Homo-oligomer: A and B are copies of this chain.
Amino acid sequence: MNGWERREHILQVAAEIFARKGYRTTSITDIVEVAGIGRGTFYLYFESKREIFLELIESYFEGFAQVLEENQRRLEEAFLEGGNALAAWRENIYRVFLYHRDNPHLTSIVYGEAMGRDEDFSLRVDELSRLARKKLLEGFRLMERHRMLRDCDLETVTSMVMGSTINVIRDRLLGRKRVNLERLSDEFMEYHIRALAPRGTDIQRSVRSAMKGVKRGAEGAG
């Protein structure tokens, strides 16, 4: 195991334990024992317990930001190319769920520790959190500009959609073996499309249109 591999190994182990036990309860001993390394070795790769935890958080947000970036691009492209914006949105939702399902430990860490603790890292968490929120809000504004949304307070909507997302991930994704992500995404999208569609929209058609854009065989892709 070379330097980089070892570092990654420790990160993975730490992620799993932090997710299970939380920051305070997890001890360096826990980590090095599972990682199969000596106490001192840990400090060759990471400055402190705080630092490795922060790195995990950053890595979650980095990955998530990338997903949101792609989502934004996908939406923009759909609009530009006169494509199916709803299908793009449907895909975006799917990608968000996928990301979280594939990174359950990071997810647990962030949403289990994210709320206002005055630990040093809570500031960073809040900062990153606001970043993600901003990206989502931008997506909504884009949709608004294209008359895909009824008139409503986008700030509140963003909160509601984020909350729904997080909670669905928590309740219905994490800790389960097999989840049909496609069906979940459909359910989720239909709910929020109905909630947001402008007056006079033929929602049945919208939903059908959104789903039509999606042709996935077995959903196990992620």
Contacts and interface: CB of A to CB of B under 8 A. Distances in A.
Contacts of A197: 194
Contact of A159 (B153, B157, B171, B194): B171
Contacts of A194: 150, 194-197
A25 to B, nearest CB: 6
A91 interface: no
A43 interface: no
B195 A192 contact: yes
A80 B203 CA distance: 32
Given A22-B117, A155-B172, A159-B167, 6 more contacts: A20-B116, A21-B118, A23-B24, A112-B116, A159-B170, A192-B195
A70 to B, nearest CB: 23
A172 B159 CA distance: 8
Size class of A's contact patch? 35 or more
Contacts of A168: 156, 159-160, 163
A191 B160 contact: yes
Nearest to A17: B118
Given A152-B187, A188-B156, A195-B191, A21 B164 contact: no
29 contacts: A19-B116, A21-B119, A22-B24, A23-B24, A24-B24, A25-B118, A25-B119, A111-B115, A112-B115, A112-B117, A150-B194, A155-B171, A156-B188, A156-B191, A159-B168, A159-B172, A160-B164, A160-B167, A160-B188, A163-B164, A163-B165, A164-B164, A166-B167, A191-B195, A191-B196, A192-B195, A194-B194, A195-B195, A199-B204
